A and B are shown apart, each in its own frame.
Chain A
C-alpha cells in the first residue's frame, strides 16, 4: 500500500509538473495581457508533433526536443503576429471566439499534415530503464527525467521572473500593464516575448510527453481545461500560484484516481464503491476548485487585486 502511494505520488508529481509547464505560459499571458488564449492547448499539441517529426528526421529524441523548442517559440510569435495582437484591446468574448477558431484551424491543419491516427515514439534507450527506489520499488527513469526537467524549468522561470530586468517588467506588467507602458517600456515587445515564451513552454511539455503518451490532434484539449483549473486555483498571473496549484491538481487527480475507490470500499460495498469511485474521481479536481474558490474567489495567489 505504501509502495503504491509512493508510486502514485511520483506519478502525480510528474503530471503536475507537466501541467505547470503549460500553465506557466498561460498564466503569464492572462496576467500580463489580460488575454484569454484557448489555443494554448493546441500549442502543446503542435509542440508534440514538431518534436516527433524532428526525432524521426534526426534519429535522436534529444535533438528532436531541442529543435522543437525554437520552432514552437517561432510558431507562437507567428500566431501572435497574425492574429492575437489584434485582440488585446478586444473584450474577452472576442478573444474566446478567435482563439476557438484557431483551435479548429490547427486541429484540422495537424490532421491534414500528420493524419488523424495517434503517433507514438519509443522512449530513448539511455533513459528507458527504471531505477530502484525504496526496497523492491522501481520507477521509470524517463518519468523522473520529466520531473527533473520540469523542476529545472520552474527554477529557471523563478530566476527569470525574480532576478532579471525582464522578469521585473513581467511582474510589473502583470500588476499594471498600462502603467508599465506609460513609463516608457515597449509593451508590444514584452507581449511578444511573453507569448513566445509561453508557446515554447507549452511546446516543451508537449515534446516531453511524446514517448509516454500517444500524440494525437485532440491531446491538447484535456490538458487545456486542466490548465484552466490550475490557473484559477493558483490565481491568474501568478507563476508561484500556478506551480503550487499544478502540483496540487496533479497529485489530487492521480492519487485520488487510485486511492479514491480504495477509501470508498471502507464505507461502501465493493460494487457500489467502484461505481461511485468511477463517477467521483474524475470530478475530484473540479470539486477542489469549487471549494477553493468559495473561500478565495480570485485564487490562492492573485497577481493583481480587484481584477
Chain B
C-alpha cells in the first residue's frame, strides 16, 4: 500500500509565538534584534576603551558566521530544507574573492557581485536537482553536492589546491584600502549583517515568505490551494546561497586566506548547529548560535586541544534535552520578565 507523502515536521521553535502574539510579546520580539544589533554597535567602543583588540576579531567573525547562519535559517527554519552543503556557498564566496584578487580585481563590490552570481548559478543547478527529493534524500544530496564543490576546489592547482590561497591584502572599496582598518571592516560587516537581516525579514513578511512557511508546514495543502512549492523553495535556496556567498567573501577578507577547509562538510554541520542551537526560524537565532559557537571554540580550545569532545557532548545533550534552542530560553526569560 503506498503511504501518503509525509509532510515535513513543523519547526518546533517557530510555531508557538508566531501565530497570535499578544501585544507585549510582539514588543519583546522586536526588542530582541534591536538589543542584539545595539550590542554589536557599541562593542568596538568597549574595545577602544582598553579591552583586548583580539575581541574585535572574534566579534567580526561572529557577525560573518551570523550572516551565514542567518542565510541557512532562511531555508532551514522557514523552508524545512535541511541543507547539509551550505558551507559550499561560503567557499564559493571566498574563492570568488581569492580568484578575482589573483587576477588583479581587488574591488570589493566587483568581487561581491562575482561571488553572488557564482553562488546563485551553483545553487540553481544543484537546488533544481536536490529539491526534486524530500527528507533524508535532500540531506544526503546537498551533502554530496557540497562535497563535490569541496573536491573541485582541492583540484584547483592554479589557486593553491589543498593548501589554499593567501590574499596579498584585503579588498579595496572604491579604490581605497579602507578594509585594512579593523574598525572600518567591523562596521562594514555589521552594516551588511543588518542589511541581510532586514532583507530576510521583509522577504519573510511578504507573500513569498508566507508561501514558503506554508510549504514548510504542509506542502500538500499548499499545492491544493494552487501554489507550486518548487519555484518558491528554489528561490529561497538561491537567495540563501547568495547571502552565504557574501559571508564567504567577508570571511576571506577577514582571514586574508582562502582554502577548501571553508567548505568541508563539518563546516556545514557547524552551521546547522549554530542555527538550531540559536533557535530555528528566528533569523537572530543564527547570530546567537554563531556567537555561542565561536566563543565556545575560543574558550574550549584554550582549555584543551580535544575541545571538540566537549562540543560533541554539549550538542548531543542539547538535542536530547533542550527543545527550543537559545532563542527559546531567552524568549522564556523575556516572557517571565515581562509578566512580573
Which residues of A does B touch, CB under 8 Å?
Answer: 30, 34, 36, 38, 83, 86-87, 90-94, 96-98, 100-109, 111-112, 176, 221, 225, 228-229, 231-232, 236, 275, 278-279, 282-283, 286, 289-290, 293-294, 297-299, 304-307
Is B313 interfacial (CB-CB < 8 Å)?
Answer: yes
User: Is there an interface contact between B272 and A93, defined as CB atoms closer than 8 Å?
Assistant: yes
23 contacts between A and B (CB under 8 A): A36-B136, A87-B319, A91-B8, A92-B135, A94-B319, A96-B139, A97-B315, A98-B320, A103-B312, A104-B309, A104-B311, A112-B306, A225-B147, A228-B140, A228-B143, A231-B140, A232-B140, A282-B152, A286-B145, A293-B132, A294-B132, A298-B133, A306-B5
Question: Which chain B residue lies CB-closest to A276?
Answer: B155
Is B9 interfacial (CB-CB < 8 Å)?
Answer: yes
Question: Which chain B residue lies CB-closest to A86?
Answer: B320
- Complex: A224 Cα to B98 Cα, angstroms: 30
Q: Which of B139, B147, B155, B312 contacts A102 (CB 8 A)?
A: B312
User: Is there an interface contact between A36 and B139, defined as CB atoms closer than 8 Å?
Assistant: yes
User: Is there an interface contact between A293 and B313, defined as CB atoms closer than 8 Å?
Assistant: no
For B126, list chain A residues within 8 Å (CB). Answer: 290
A297 to chain B, nearest CB (A): 5
B150 to chain A, nearest CB (A): 9
User: Is there an interface contact between A306 and B4, defined as CB atoms closer than 8 Å?
Assistant: yes
- Complex: A307 Cα to B308 Cα, angstroms: 35
For A34, list chain B residues within 8 Å (CB). Answer: 136
Question: Which chain A residue lies CB-closest to B146?
Answer: A225
- Complex: A298 Cα to B137 Cα, angstroms: 8
User: Is there an interface contact between A221 and B265, defined as CB atoms closer than 8 Å?
Assistant: yes
- Complex: A153 Cα to B148 Cα, angstroms: 30
For B157, list chain A residues within 8 Å (CB). Answer: 275, 278
For A111, list chain B residues within 8 Å (CB). Answer: 306
For A286, list chain B residues within 8 Å (CB). Answer: 144-145, 147-148
Residues in B20-74 with C-beta less than 8 Å from chain A: none
For B129, list chain A residues within 8 Å (CB). Answer: 290, 293-294
User: Is there an interface contact between A108 and B308, defined as CB atoms closer than 8 Å?
Assistant: yes
Count of A-B contacts with CB under 8 A?
A: 141
User: Is there an interface contact between B132 and A93, defined as CB atoms closer than 8 Å?
Assistant: no
Q: Which of B5, B276, B308 contacts A93 (CB 8 A)?
A: B276
Chain B interface residue count, Cβ-Cβ cutoff 8 angstroms: 52
User: Is there an interface contact between B319 and A101, defined as CB atoms closer than 8 Å?
Assistant: yes
For A97, list chain B residues within 8 Å (CB). Answer: 272-273, 276, 315, 318-319
Known: A97-B315, A104-B312. A306 touches B144 (CB 8 A): no
Q: Is the interface of A mostly helix, strand, loop or mixed?
A: helix
Which residues of B does A touch, CB under 8 Å?
Answer: 1-6, 8-9, 76, 82, 84, 126, 129, 132-137, 139-141, 143-145, 147-148, 151-152, 154-158, 265-266, 269, 272-273, 276, 306, 308-309, 311-316, 318-320
- Complex: A92 Cα to B135 Cα, angstroms: 7
User: Is there an interface contact between A96 and B82, defined as CB atoms closer than 8 Å?
Assistant: yes
Q: Which of A103, A221, A294, A307 contacts B135 (CB 8 A)?
A: A307
Q: Which of B3, B76, B314 contacts A176 (CB 8 A)?
A: B3
Known: A36-B136, A105-B312, A107-B308. A304 touches B3 (CB 8 A): yes
Known: A92-B136, A228-B143. A101 touches B312 (CB 8 A): yes
B112 to chain A, nearest CB (A): 25
- Complex: A92 Cα to B138 Cα, angstroms: 11
Question: Which chain A residue lies CB-closest to B269?
Answer: A100
User: Is there an interface contact between B309 and A306, defined as CB atoms closer than 8 Å?
Assistant: no
Known: A282-B154, A306-B2. A30 touches B136 (CB 8 A): yes
Q: Which of A90, A101, A105, A236 has the most CB of B within 10 A?
A: A101
User: Is there an interface contact between A100 and B315, defined as CB atoms closer than 8 Å?
Assistant: yes
A86 to chain B, nearest CB (A): 6
A171 to chain B, nearest CB (A): 15
- Complex: A301 Cα to B316 Cα, angstroms: 33
For B313, list chain A residues within 8 Å (CB). Answer: 101, 105
- Complex: A105 Cα to B317 Cα, angstroms: 12
